[in-house]
Amino acid sequence: MSVVVVGAGPAGVRAVERLVNGGQRPAWIDEAPDGGGRVFQKPPPGFARRGAALYGEDAGRAHSLHAALEALKPRTDWRPGTLVWNLRPGPRLLDLQGDAGHSTLAYDQLILCTGAMDRVVPIPGWTQPGVTSLGAAQIALKTQGLAMGRRVALCGTGPLLLLLAWQLTKAGAAPALVLDSTPWATTLRAAPGLARNPLMALRGLGWLARLTVRTGAVPLRIEPGCTGLVWRDGRGEHRTEVDAVALGWGLKPETQLADLAGVPFAFDPLQRLWLPERDAAGRTAVPGVFLAGDGASVGGSVMAELGGARAALVVLGDTGAEAARLDRAIAREARFRTALERAYPYPHALAAAMPDDTLLCRCEAITAADLRASVAPDINRGKALTRVGMGRCQGRLCGPPAAEVLAAALGCDIAEVGRLRGQMPVKPVPMA
């Protein structure tokens, strides 16, 4: 049996761990030079900052994951720095691009642990130098010790916003401004559900106690040269002098390979996203294809580890006590994640109302006005008429906000405009 695991973050490491313990030698592929994923990204050799500074309260989990990663590499067909840019479900082949060039890899069983990426709302000025996503700002801090600027504004919502603000503060580069688009009352209404995981809830409260966060506040525009941020809260409009801005409203799964594999998708009204369908153990409707971690539905690193291990047990045919234990833990984490989504919702009204001249699709230079003027009946027709989502990111960045803009222009529910279909190559590849 040929087993392939795509991704070496928390889900991928735990999936491979169970497979190896079950007697398998899987092929293990990751686009990055090393494993750990984004949340537990390993620093480069010689990096001076210690784990406690990089990973905070999760330093122990990060070290455990890294130790497992290193122990597993020689027991697998380990392929770092390798992009899976296409999946051909008929012959069950993956098209790969690595340092040695192009290659193909056959599979019988495939576990996709593709992770997630930042979810943004385009605002005027967001394509300027000095503006990044929250995730990119965190990577710069973890791998290079960079704080982006001397007066940094963080805008968005959710745990990553607070975590990055706290990490920058601990590193001696406290943000000049932290805007959380979620009103405090909305977060409080979700408090009973958040209490299902008291450790994480207390951690979030600890961050809030040490930070100055403007809740119910949204960025309006970034001034030329990234010299100032204009924002609005309940008291009106304000301007803050800045030299860098990071944006991020939660995460969205990287679902392109699942789409190419033929996995059915369903609309999740809570996340306002189309997500690949799978059961709690990671099985999909496509035989031999399994999904785990944030690449299926954003659930955080704990859920990712559980999901990776559970999918591997399905591949191994293990339905014993460990499978039952993982099922219970996954159900518990899923309930907490639902509360977290309600506590920090995606600001769809902000996306839907973006000014006409906002650059919605930065790859193809398509504005919100261009998409509205197309009067397209769905997002794929909007893509054909305007080229939104046809650029280097294949709609991974602009797809969700574009759907909000189009749905508002048509006066219909967001689910009715559909989703941008996955295309290969899922990311740019060299021509030679």
Let me know whether 317 and 244 are in one domain.
Answer: no
Rounded to 5 degrees, what are φ and ψ at 96? -120, 150
Q: Cβ distance 302 to 96 under 8 Å?
A: no
For 162-175, what is the mean pLDDT? 92
Residue 424 is assigned to a structural domain of this protein:
no
**What order of strands is seen across the sheet that includes strand 3-6?**
77-79, 27-29, 3-6, 109-112, 289-291
Is 297 in a helix, a strand, or coil?
coil
Assigned domain for 330 exists:
yes
Per-residue confidence (pLDDT) for residue 53, from 0 to 100: 67
Rg over CA atoms, the chain:
21
Of the ranges 30-39, 83-92, 418-427, the best mean pLDDT one: 83-92
Domain finish residue from 323, 340, 357: 340
Q: What is the CATH number of the domain that holds 410?
A: 1.10.10
Contacts of residue 176, defined as CB under 8 A and 6 or more positions apart, other chains included, come to 151, 152, 153, 240, 241, 242
Check whether residue 245 and residue 262 sit in a common domain.
no
Coil/strand/helix, residue 276 = strand
Residues 370, 388: Cα–Cα separation, whole Å: 9
CATH number at residue 134: 3.50.50.60
C-alpha to C-alpha distances, 409 to 7, 167, 390, nearest whole angstrom: 38, 39, 21
Q: How many domains does the chain have?
A: 3
Residue 432 lies in a domain: no
Residues 16 and 111 placed together within one structural domain of the fold = yes
Residue 425 lies in a domain: no
Q: Is residue 151 domain-shared with residue 205, that is, in the same domain? A: yes
Stated pTM of the model: 0.95
Asked if residue 242 and residue 127 are part of one domain, the reply reads: yes
Nearest CA to 289 out of 110, 162, 99, 47 is that of: 110
Mean of per-residue pLDDT scores for the chain: 94
Question: Of 85-89, 195-199, 227-231, 392-396, which range is least confident?
Answer: 195-199
Please report whether residue 427 resides in a domain: no
Q: Are residues 52 and 143 in the same domain?
A: no
Reported as a pLDDT band with limits 50, 70 and 90, residue 318 is confident
| pLDDT, tens only, 237-285 | 999 999 999 999 999 999 999 999 999 999 999 999 999 999 999 999 9
Whether residues 136 and 238 share a domain: the answer is yes
Q: Are residues 387 and 407 in the same domain?
A: yes
108 and 124 inside one domain = no
Structural domain boundaries, residue 363: 348-417
CB 299 within 8 A of CB 119: no
Selection from 40, 35, 37 nearest residue 71 by Cα: 35
Task: Label residue 331 by pLDDT band (50, 70, 90).
Answer: very high
Asked if residue 426 is part of any domain, the answer here is: no
- What is the chain's length? 432
**Rounded-to-integer distance, Cα 61 and Cα 64, Å:** 5
Together in a domain, 112 and 141: no
